[in-house]
Amino acid sequence: PRTIFSGIQPTGIPHLGNYLGALRQWVKLQDEATPDTTLLYSLVDLHAITVRQDPNQLRQWKKESLAMLLAIGLDPNRSIIFHQSDVPAHAELMWILSCQASTGYLGRMTQWKDKTASAKENSEKLKLGLLSYPVLQAADVLVHRATHVPVGHDQAQHLEFAREVASGFNHVYGQDVLIQPETLISPAKRVMSLTDPAAKMSKSHPNARSRILLTDSTETIQSKIKAAVTDSIEGITYDPSSRPGVSNLIDIIYHTNDTSDYASQDELARDLASLSMRSLKTRTADAIDRVLEPIRARYSSLIGDESTLIDLAHTGAVRASDSASGTVARVRKAMGLS
């Protein structure tokens, strides 16, 4: 039997990168799952607070993110959908794993190094949660005994860390107390920013035009894609290192094309070779709009249904607490805490 776990931070409406890199995969895994597969998808609000959040904004984002998980096609009868902070076992196991995790290893994480390098502040201002959040992420996955974790490329390093923590813990306390999960990286593993194609598309980037939200209208999609940074080289070719902006648009067309008419981005690019930049952008916006149109429609009817969302969050929390309780009991017993 498989257990699939993954999470998304409620730090804004999910964007096209979240969808192609992770959320679409979540739905696919759900729809293809055999009856003995457990699926858990979490809105990881405790991760969201590693940077300061406005309480009302966070509340709103939690609600919107939940509605979006339903809008993309997750079925609450099949998948356990829940807010992380509703299940205290995540935080409890995190503390226990913190006593196992190496600060040297955490300090070498790319995200920590990026944040400490860009933050000109001294260590007095850097928060502990920012350093230790991979431990919480490890706890998220391990507490549910996940066997498979579908994520985008940027999370691969954190999952490697989770396996390391699990194996270290098992080495001390017993062979199968924790389960080492496998990482499932989606084919669209890194959708790039529209305004800075050297960086990944991100919910928290200050420039809202750097990303396509799953709620964006046809017109907004068109105008953001029209303004996307490309280059002035004649003709269309696929070369992510020398033409990152153009290649990102080709990637988007390629990955939004469900039927996979093309064997590779290169093959697709050969078909697009003679297009003008303007036509390439029109093609891209159309491809995105086709995928987002039904999601947008479902989202707008769900977001107004407050009582259903509250009920679903409650049911999800109960089921997720149940899923987590076995591991916590096992860990406590193995360590002499109970």
Active site residues: 115, 200, 203
How many Å apart are CA 11 and CA 139, to the nearest integer? 20
244 near ligand ATP, judged by CB under 6 A? no
Out of 3, 9, 84, 183, the only residue in the binding site for ligand ATP (CB under 6 A) is 9
Q: Which is nearer to ligand ATP, 139 or 191 (CB)?
A: 191
The Cα-based distances of 171 to 166, 177, 178, 325, 327 in angstroms read: 8, 10, 10, 22, 16
Stretch that binds ligand ATP, among 79-87, 148-156, 230-238, 260-268 (CB under 6 A): 148-156
Q: Which is nearer to ligand ATP, 230 or 331 (CB)?
A: 230
319 near ligand ATP, judged by CB under 6 A? no
- Residue of minimal CB distance from ligand ATP? 21
Out of 3, 21, 63, 146, the only residue in the binding site for ligand ATP (CB under 6 A) is 21
| In the complex, minimum distance from the CB of residue 275 to ligand ATP, in angstroms, rounded to a whole number | 24
| In the complex, minimum distance from the CB of residue 242 to ligand ATP, in angstroms, rounded to a whole number | 20
Out of 62, 83, 135, 152, the only residue in the binding site for ligand ATP (CB under 6 A) is 152
Out of 3, 11, 210, 327, the only residue in the binding site for ligand ATP (CB under 6 A) is 11
Q: Which is nearer to ligand ATP, 154 or 164 (CB)?
A: 154
Residue 50, SS3 per DSSP: coil
Residue in this structure with the two tokens 């062979």, named with its chain if needed: 175
Each as own residue / partner, the long-range contacts of residues 232-241 (CB below 8 Å, 24 or more positions apart, any chain) are 235/273, 235/274, 236/269, 236/272, 236/273, 236/274, 236/275, 236/277, 236/280, 237/269, 237/273, 238/265, 238/266, 238/268, 238/269
Q: Between 178 and 217, how does the x/- string for binding to ligand ATP read (CB under 6 A)?
A: -----------xxx--------xxxxx-------------
User: In sequence order, what are the residues at sequence separation of 6 or more whose Cβ sits closer than 8 angstroms to the Cβ of residue 80?
Assistant: 38, 39, 40, 41, 316, 319, 320, 323
Angle at 289 between CA 231 and CA 23, to 5 degrees: 95
Nearest to 129 by CA among 243, 49, 22, 32: 49
Binding site for ligand ATP (CB under 6 A): 8-9, 11, 17-18, 21-22, 151-152, 154-155, 189-191, 200-204
